[in-house]
Amino acid sequence: MNRRALAVVIAVLVLLVSGSALGERKVAEETLIFWEIRDGVCTIFGDRGHGSGFLVDGDIILTNSHVVTGSRYITVQFDEATRVRASLLVDDKARDVAVLLIAPSLLGDRPRLKLADRVAEELAFEGEKVIAVGSPLNQARILTSGIVSKVERGAIISDVNINPGNSGGPLVNMDSEVIGINTFADDSPRGPGVSGSIPITEAREAIQKARLAMPKAVPPDPELLPVTPDAAFPMESLPWSSKRSYEAEDYSVRSAGGFEVTITTPPRRHFLQVASDERLAGERRDREALAGVDEAEMYDPLGDRLKEWAEYVGEYAPIVVIQVTPEIGETGVSTFLNVLGAGLAGYAGTAYAGHHVYEFKGDLQDFELQARGTAIRELFRSMDMMPISVSVYGASMDDIAQQGVFAYLPDSFSLDKSVELSMTIQDLKKPDQIVEVVFPRRCLEQIWVDFEPYRDMAVARTRPLHVQ
């Protein structure tokens, strides 16, 4: 019996004993299956967000095509410490199935999930219990359960709760068989909606192609990549650290080759969430003071938003986020024509009503943070399209460009003067040019100040306890 199976048996015995003592608690069938397969389920990070995937025989990972399509960088995370590069082995866009490959040395005894071997119409039946395992929203490898609502040739509809991030994860029956890949939701603001999973039969062709390609495939580097720290930014320090960053202007690098680069930390992020309230709070506090309200009871938009559970929805992860956004400006042709038109109108003594046409000045293709020319590994990245199509009196814009969000560990922003950070931006509009911007010293100093409470917390956790 391997260690994983032994751990499951021990956990079951503990719960059975405690359940007997209490006379109430029981281990559900869904729970046992979850414990059996969860170490074979992973979180997948691509350029356009994240999703889920799962390991099958042949040492390959199944997921949805839409989770990874268009990504230049794909990483896979199996647990709190294991995140590695992955390569795209097969991409079947029509069926929305993709197969990934990671270094085999990292797989060990992780479970390979069993795939149901039946025709699509016989994979499930209405009312059958099923579970989904995946990484929705800000969660990692969690269990949701429900029943099959309807079986179609190309989809299994269920009431299992899935959300963005569940895509690519397995839909599993009570025989521990994967019967589908969780793919879409049919939702509505008037109700909870239902979930859709493509039948596992849709993946058979992609799996066959992957197994044929495996002998010649070169696995990605097994190097372990950085992971998001499991400790949140100390909540009790956010009010004063947020107020300290209230008037700071050291978080942005404007006009970097047609892009605006903005840096965000937990204190700054917390402040921005309540910035509008903070601007209005002064007047409210004046009225409270005149009414004799105790200072401790006065309205505090920063403090009122702090809840200890916020760390579980990804609010205050101790990371530095860099956002790269294309700037908007008037096109050269529009500027020329309006200047010309205004000049001619002035010469003729008539009024001029011009029309100004705007565009994105850049279109992000890639971004990299470097220390002395060596790339710093990001925790994750997200690239999103920004379509704008608007026309109002005197102005119009009809353009689309890409922006990006990149997250890093705070240790990457050391105040060590021997380390010079720089940012390189690849612009799709200027493919032969690379914009390089030296990371401003003032930004480093502000980041260092913002993470002071987090560093203090880390030191306190590693300090040995002295028992007298």
State residue 391's pLDDT score: 85
Residue 76 belongs to a domain: yes
Q: What is the pLDDT of residues 148-161, one digit of tens each?
A: 999 988 999 999 99
Cα dist. 225→82, 86, 161, 362 in Å? 7, 11, 30, 30
Take residue 200 and report the two structure tokens written for it. Answer: 């596992």
Take residue 465 and report the two structure tokens written for it. Answer: 């306890």
State residue 233's pLDDT score: 86
Average pLDDT over residues 126-141: 93
pLDDT confidence band for 36 (50 / 70 / 90):
very high
- In a 3-state reduction of DSSP, which class is residue 401? strand
Are 53 and 100 in contact by the 8 Å Cβ rule? The answer is yes
Take residue 351 and report the two structure tokens written for it. Answer: 């009024």
Is the confidence at residue 6, as pLDDT, over 80? no
Distance, CA of 266 to CA of 317 (rounded, Å): 7
Please check whether residues 391 and 288 belong to one and the same domain.
Answer: yes
Residue 69 belongs to a domain: yes
Please check whether residues 194 and 316 belong to one and the same domain.
Answer: no
Please check whether residues 367 and 430 belong to one and the same domain.
Answer: yes
- In a 3-state reduction of DSSP, which class is residue 389? strand
State residue 282's pLDDT score: 72
Please check whether residues 212 and 276 belong to one and the same domain.
Answer: no
Please check whether residues 145 and 281 belong to one and the same domain.
Answer: no
Please check whether residues 191 and 78 belong to one and the same domain.
Answer: yes
Listed in sequence order, the DSSP H helices in 158-245 are: 204-213, 238-244
Residue 381 belongs to a domain: yes
Residue 92 belongs to a domain: yes
Q: What is the pLDDT of residues 108-119, one digit of tens each?
A: 889 999 999 998
Take residue 372 and report the two structure tokens written for it. Answer: 């002395």
Q: What is the pLDDT of residues 194-212, one digit of tens each?
A: 899 999 999 999 999 999 9
Residue 19 belongs to a domain: no
Are 68 and 74 in contact by the 8 Å Cβ rule? The answer is yes
Please check whether residues 247 and 286 belong to one and the same domain.
Answer: yes
**Would the pTM count as exceeding 0.75?**
yes
- In a 3-state reduction of DSSP, which class is residue 363? coil
Is the confidence at residue 8, as pLDDT, over 60? no
Residue (of 31, 11, 352, 67) closest to 184 by Cα position: 67
Q: 228: how many CB neighbours lie within 10 A of its CB? A: 17
**CATH value at residue 145:** 2.40.10.120
Q: What is the pLDDT of residues 396-420, one digit of tens each?
A: 899 999 999 999 999 888 887 667 8
Characterize the bridge pairing of strands 83-92 and 129-134.
unpaired
DSSP string over 144-172: EEEEEEEE-SS-EEE-----TT-TTPEEE
Is the confidence at residue 62, as pLDDT, over 90? yes
**What's the DSSP call for residue 387?**
E
Please check whether residues 183 and 281 belong to one and the same domain.
Answer: no
Are 427 and 258 in contact by the 8 Å Cβ rule? The answer is yes
**Number of domains within the chain:** 2
- Where among 162, 188, 216 does a domain terminate? 216
Q: What are phi and psi of 349, to 5 degrees?
A: 75, 25
DSSP E strand stretches across 283-348:
320-326, 328-330
Residue (of 107, 93, 62) closest to 220 by Cα position: 107
State residue 467's pLDDT score: 46
Are 85 and 201 in contact by the 8 Å Cβ rule? The answer is no
Please check whether residues 297 and 202 belong to one and the same domain.
Answer: no
Q: What is the pLDDT of residues 269-301, one digit of tens each?
A: 877 776 667 667 777 777 888 888 887 777 766
Are 116 and 178 in contact by the 8 Å Cβ rule? The answer is yes
Distance, CA of 134 to CA of 171 (rounded, Å): 9
Q: How far does CA 327 lie from the centroid of its chain?
A: 24
Residue 230 belongs to a domain: no
**What's the DSSP call for residue 316?**
T
Q: What angle do CA 297, 301, 306 make, to 5 degrees?
A: 95
Residue 21 belongs to a domain: no
- Note down the domain range covering 141: 30-216
Residue 317 belongs to a domain: yes
Dihedral (CA of 462, 463, 466, 467) sign: negative
Please check whether residues 154 and 274 belong to one and the same domain.
Answer: no
Distance, CA of 409 to CA of 378 (rounded, Å): 8
Cα dist. 356→335, 341, 390, 403 in Å? 7, 11, 12, 24
Is the confidence at residue 11, as pLDDT, over 70? no
Distance, CA of 295 to CA of 288 (rounded, Å): 9
Please check whether residues 190 and 277 belong to one and the same domain.
Answer: no
Q: How far does CA 418 lie from the centroid of its chain?
A: 32
Please check whether residues 180 and 250 belong to one and the same domain.
Answer: no
Characterize the bridge pairing of strands 177-188 and 114-115.
parallel
- Where among 152, 187, 216 does a domain terminate? 216
